[in-house]
Amino acid sequence: MSSHVDSRCNPARARTPARTLLRLFPLLVLVALVAAPGTVRAQLASYAYFTVTPDPRLCPGPICGGFHLQALNQSWTTCADGSQQTSCYVASADFGALEAPPIFAPGEVVVRGRIEADEYPGFGNLGRLVAESAWTGATAQDAQGIFFRIRELGIVCVTTPCFSIEARVLNQTAILALSGLDLAAVDATLAQLAAAQAAAERGDLLVAGLTTPDPGPAGEGLALIASQFWLPEPARPRCLSDAECSSGASCNASEVCLPPPECEPGDPCPRVCSGYCEPTACTSNAECDASEYCASDGLCRADGACRLEVDCSLAGNDYPHIECVGHGICEASGGSESACGWECTNPMCVDLLGYDFGPCDAVLGWGVIGGACVEVSGCTFDPFVLFVSRDECTAACPPADAVPALGLAGALGLGLGLSGLAVAWLRRSRKPGRERIVPPCE
């Protein structure tokens, strides 16, 4: 992440109590900014960063079942009716700018978007969220501290501290120059840390935490100790006109009028509306181009691209993978979409998280969802195979709780040499008739 990133495998660093560091060196100036009363309306532009939490209440809609929004780094949030609340309820959300709606588990979801008025007869203005981009938390850990957007500047120094990281305070105008970023307190996987490095290089990594002095031979630096980080959700290609979209897709700039992608809340934005290319909906592979397949969310995606792990095991998703018995996996690629890979293991252990088995209540069997064996209900489990019991599932697919202890610098790809890992791609999946059809509920 920078020229000075602490490693998980550094024994001296491991013995340093991170919580003590956070208590001793809070960023007082930023805390004062966040807590300052009477400045919310001036600081929040039309677009802002919010945490988004689904409403768990079971009362009838639209007064239940929507979303609760809280503006980051702010004491109050401006709701659709103009009132100032600690959090706002909206009855609906528009996630059309994303490849698919975010999955609200296990990590917290952060959205950059706006709250619009939305009148419901008999209920009044309950509002709706229009999301422009979204990020999902790496883990279920609580986020503490100030929320930043991180950009790796690519600066190379011959000594430390090296101020090679830009940290923009969300929903504020303050920008910090950092000499270090420590993600060790976040219990993230190797793939998540690699994705965090790629996102930081694009300026698209969100981090919550507090700063601490970072001394070095050249003087005093400033490091950010993270309590949580968020990875970007795949977004649809932004556009100004149909000419910028691929065949079969259209640009909706005049309808949604999103701000330019690089315009942050609080910045003066040019008066130009952008939109996103709306992809082709599908019910079978036959409705997609030859280089695409019909994904689990009912949209045509490029071969080898994925939203969920199940996408990489669907018939018609034609991508190169090693020849062995196993199943597809969806891996962060550092781009706007994740990419399919392959794992040599029991093919029935594919993670079914997010797959829609239909609106029926019939018990279909047991499968892996979110890394654990759970009972699956719905209309049909085609094209997957399920276990008949929990015991059978857990015996075949034990939870992978333990991750090898790798140094953080290595996990982030700093010297790990990920590009040097040679994989023999031996076989491509087939598209027999391209006939995967989303099953109806009978």
The pLDDT value given to residue 413: 33
Residue 391 tokens read as 């015991």
Mean pLDDT of the chain: 78
Q: What is the pLDDT of residues 378-416, one digit of tens each?
A: 998 888 899 999 999 999 998 764 333 323 333 333 332
In a domain, 439, yes or no: no
Residues 187 and 289 grouped into a single domain = no
Find the distance separating the first CA and the last CA of the chain, reported in whole Å: 52
Closest CA to 258 of 232, 235, 281, 280: 235
Nearest to 96 by CA among 257, 245, 266, 282: 257
Q: What's the pLDDT band for 226 if we cut at 50, 70, 90?
A: very high
Query: Cis before residue 161, ω within 30 degrees of 0?
Result: yes
Q: Do 249 and 347 belong to one domain? A: no
Distance CA 279, CA 302 (A): 11
Tell me, yes or no, whether 323 and 192 share the same domain.
no
Is there a single domain that holds both residue 157 and residue 253? Answer: no
User: Which of these, 367, 370, 434, 422, lies nearest to 394 by C-alpha position?
Assistant: 367
* Nearest partner of 128 among 72, 73, 88, judged by Cα: 88
- Residues 167 and 245 placed together within one structural domain of the fold: no
Higher pLDDT, 40 or 308: 308
Is residue 406, in this structure, part of any structural domain at all?
yes
**Which among 179, 208, 236 is the end of a domain?**
236
Residues 146 and 266 in one domain: no
Confidence of residue 8 (pLDDT cuts 50, 70, 90): very low
Model pLDDT for residues 88-106, shown as the tens digit of each residue: 999 999 998 887 788 887 8
**Could you give the number of structural domains in the chain?**
3
Residues 58, 196, single domain; the answer is yes
Last residue of a domain, one of 278, 306, 330: 278
Same domain assignment for residues 303 and 422: yes
Q: Is residue 193 part of a domain?
A: yes
Same domain, 310 and 250: no
Q: Please provide residue 411's backbone torsions phi and psi, each rounded to the nearest 5 degrees.
A: -65, -30
Q: Is residue 440 part of a domain?
A: no
Residue 205's pLDDT is 97
**pTM, full prediction:** 0.59
Asked if residue 441 is part of any domain, the answer here is no
Same domain as 407, residue 265: no
Residue 433 falls inside a structural domain: no
Instruction: State the residue range of the domain holding 272.
Output: 238-278
Residues 191 and 132 in one domain: yes
Whether 21 and 113 share a structural domain? yes
